[in-house]
Amino acid sequence: MITVLKGTHDVILDEASKYTYVEQVLIRVAETYGFKEFRTPIIEASNLFTRSVGDSSDIVRKEMYTFLDKGERSITLRPELTAGVVRSMVNNKLFIEQDYPKKAYYVGPCFRYERPQQGRYRQFNQFGVECVGVNNSYRDSEVIILAYNALKMLGFKDITLKINTLGDEESRLNYKTVLKEYFKEHLNSMCPDCHERYNLNPLRILDCKVHEDQEIVKNAPKMSNFLTENAKKAFEEVKAILTENGVKYDVDDSLVRGLDYYSGVVFEFHYTSKQGKNYGAIGAGGHYNKLVKELEGPDIEGIGFAMGIERLVSVMNDDNLFDEIDLEDTMLDVYILPIGEENIAYSLSFANKLRSLGYATEVCLENKGMSQMFKKAERRRAKLALILGENEIKNGEVVVKNLALKEQETIKMEDLVEYLDEILIKEE
Ligand code: AMP
């Protein structure tokens, strides 16, 4: 049997309804903040990611799905969407008109060749936003508030928001020099990845997950001691605006994020389900200063975040957050039971009339006995079963059975729409 590839998964049936629900809530919230949808390609030129996500990131170093196409071009399945969205803003000349900020939201699959584990897939879905231009703490805070409120809208109550600042260029330069000095002494006992990070970007060592390295990492000098006055001020402003807006946060000075393009404020959302399961960050993001320019846009800065739909759905499943949500919209309204093969064709066109009125309708496409058709209707989780036989059609009537109440009645065709509206819309 051919099965899904390692680290990938089918999202089907009820689970798919949950994905759609979560995505729609996130999209709705982003739209209330004035963000517009961007759909960028899944395949991109590989150097888009080496130039943006960065050579020192785990993503570029070992997780990209990269291949040569038939024209010998190096292509990569996008590991994240920020780079593609900013590239599209540049390519489509959105920055010519300087009514900043440019606001994009996106949703779609990403690909990373990671070791699959709880909450970690090789193909997964992200929802995210990018807000580019207008470089100040109001913009940065508003994007974090958006993410926080979107999680609230999904029903999350105790979200942990960790924030930190990576400072400005000057802060980071000072800090990197000090970090290099510190890690130089310990490098011999550290993991091979840290050796590489030491040369490419010593900040990345702070993100090392290897157990034996933790003590060394913990005792490393802290970024907060190397911030310039401007960087400190910007961080203080963001924190004040978050507090003013009722957003609770914890400052975590070990938070550096795994992508090279970040600067300034960075953040992660964590949530542990009631059963104690932690799927890693459910969302994360940060400010970027050089990304737009790196992709040949103007010298402007932006901020964005991404949330993992898989992780959101997993924690929501664990904590029964879907129980309070009406996913019934996805249920079938009407299942038509044609009596005898000769009435199937009539039932098909009748179903189309109901669909054009907005009712999800299916027809039993085979000539089956009544009890079998009722069983099918129940398996389909239809709200109503409609019986269409020779007599009903001749008399301009239809027999309707409410499958939940187990009540059956005969309705005149001309009264049916009113009847359906009453039963099905009243329920919502
Ligand atoms: P990142 O782009 O690494 O900042 O990730 C943003 C969000 O995407 C994370 O907070 C996760 O929720 C989700 N995510 C990242 N990698 C994976 C993965 N391999 N599988 C599932 N979700 C992921």
Share of the chain above pLDDT 70, in %: 99
pLDDT score of 427: 53
Atom 16 of ligand 1, nearest CA residue: 120
Cα(297) to ligand 1 centroid in Å equals: 26
Whether the per-residue pLDDT at 85 is higher than 60: the answer is yes
Site residues for ligand 1, CB cut-off 6 Å:
80, 112, 114, 119-121, 124, 126, 258, 281-284, 306-308, 310-311
CA 113 – ligand 1 centroid, Å: 12
Choose among 209, 207, 199: nearest CA to 176.
199
Query: What residue owns the CA closest to ligand 1's atom 2?
Result: 80
pLDDT digits (tens, 9 = 90+) for 183-206: 999 999 999 989 988 998 899 898
Q: What is the DSSP string of 342-381?
A: GGHHHHHHHHHHHHHTT--EEE--S---HHHHHHHHHHTT
| pLDDT tens digit sequence for 93-145 | 999 988 999 999 999 999 999 999 999 999 999 999 999 999 999 999 999 99
Half-sphere exposure of 80 (CA within 13 A, CB side): 28
Distance 124 CA to ligand 1 centre (A): 8
SS3 content of the chain, % helix, strand, coil (to 5): 45, 20, 35
CA 125 to ligand 1 center in whole angstroms: 8
| Residue 396, φ and ψ in degrees, nearest 5 | 65, 40
Cα of 265 to ligand 1 centre, how many Å?
18
Atom of ligand 1 nearest to the CA of 285: 4
Query: Predicted confidence band at 344 (pLDDT cuts at 50, 70, 90)?
Result: very high
Statement: residue 274 has pLDDT above 70: yes
